[in-house]
Chains A and B, each alone.
Chain A
């Protein structure tokens, strides 16, 4: 497994950006015990790719520092791309950087030129935790033609309810930053960046949606608000695979259940 810290200039963010990338390569285990390991360096072979988003107060190093994503990626032979999205909710901020464009357009196009990453929809997946769960669905609904599957872990799917919540994640977020993201009156939460609004729009356009998955801890403070979105989607005839497990909003949950997400994704467990 190759672990890459990448730093480059991003035209859509108008500044340098950092990403962490994991590329499965010949491991010690492969070398010692698995003579039939994937032919990683075969001419023309590409990786299936999972874009994996951090939560609020986090960045591109979280998933590798706080969960065993490198090991799981190697086991499934999937490339993992972990960008940084500050606290932007991965939207195009009203005053600030265009993170949605960066995540869902610039990054896949840029990385497919640098790394042997498949550009096909069937090989491209996105997942994330908390704010990154929201960003996952936001990106998947912005570009349903790019992703075969999207998985939210403990996703903050109902932005309006969360913005008005008294919970620490909302209350301690600097207001000047939240206004930069969603506008002076946080109006974009219930407008262009409301998942309900975007979902309805895509259905009206008869878009073919990615497979969707949502998992959350039964004791998670986001459980009820995220369930509201799942139910709304169901009313519109969109089925989101929904799984709960005992647990709260923490890395123990995400380290455990990212493994179930990887099992759920249509992975080849090999180069494609």
Chain B
């Protein structure tokens, strides 16, 4: 893998921001083990996964706390890890337009700078916790761009997460007034189920969804509930639950399940 810590000015955010990027390249492990290593050609592109962090985190989290590089190498998958602050992947009422940055500016820039596929069928988004919600939010905002979305321990029922925090059941760094313009998001585009109904009414294609949650996670009941809502809406959702809590052991393990689920060709793609 070639690794790029990339720093640039974002006109959407109006400040400098960072992404970590992996692009598959032949490596010594393949040479030593007589594995196929013939995938790095002029003009080839790679399937790409946008990988989102959770609350309190940033673009460095996935690299520091999981073996994502190794997993991506095994699948010959490009990975792009951006930062979105504690924005809940929204265009904030008081703050920055992270959703617009992630769904418009970033893909446009990455498609031009890196050899990643431009096709929907090769473009995926995944994330953990706030980023699990974010993965679905991005894919449902631009369903013509992403074919699959992965939520690991995701706060996909954002209204339920807000209620948990408001009830003082756990801590969160969110200023809901700044993020959503208040604590009542039902019926708005911040509510994923509302967004899905809207897309269905417009006859737009929905992304396929992979949903994974630890049975001891504080978001477990909300995820069980969200699964029911998704299935009732007729969304193509693959649901998994496993023993585990809301931590990096879970995400390091189950991002591997998610990669097995994604329609990866484990090779470069020709376009």
Contact A176 B61, CB 8 Å, known A57-B9, A59-B16, A87-B15: no
Partner of B86, one of A9, A15, A86: A15
Q: Is A18 part of the binding interface, using a Cβ–Cβ cutoff of 8 Å?
A: yes
* B residues in contact with A173, CB < 8 Å: 14
Nearest to B56 among chain A residues (CB) is A15
* B residues in contact with A113, CB < 8 Å: none
Contacting residues of chain B (1-33) with chain A, CB-CB under 8 angstroms: 7, 9, 14-18
Evaluate contact between B94 and A16: CB separation under 8 angstroms: no
Question: How far apart sit A14 and B85, CA to CA, in the bound complex (Å)?
Answer: 9
Partner of B94, one of A14, A56, A96: A96
Q: Chain A interface: which size bin?
A: 20 to 34
CB distance from B66 to the nearest CB of A (A): 15
Contact A180 B92, CB 8 Å, known A14-B86, A96-B178: yes
Q: Is B93 part of the binding interface, using a Cβ–Cβ cutoff of 8 Å?
A: yes
Evaluate contact between A95 and B15: CB separation under 8 angstroms: no
CB distance from B86 to the nearest CB of A (A): 6
* B residues in contact with A18, CB < 8 Å: 18
Evaluate contact between A172 and B14: CB separation under 8 angstroms: yes
Contacting residues of chain A (94-113) with chain B, CB-CB under 8 angstroms: 94-96
Evaluate contact between A58 and B15: CB separation under 8 angstroms: yes
Contacting residues of chain A (15-66) with chain B, CB-CB under 8 angstroms: 15-16, 18, 56-59, 61-62
Question: How far apart sit A180 and B95, CA to CA, in the bound complex (Å)?
Answer: 5
Interface pairs A-B: 6 shortest CB-CB: A59-B16, A180-B94, A95-B94, A95-B178, A14-B173, A16-B58
Report which A residues bind B (CB closer than 8 A): 7, 9, 14-16, 18, 56-59, 61-62, 84, 86-87, 94-96, 172-174, 176-177, 179-180
Supply 7 further A-B pairs (C-beta < 8 A) apart from A9-B56, A18-B18, A176-B92.
Answer: A15-B57, A15-B85, A16-B83, A59-B7, A95-B178, A172-B14, A180-B95
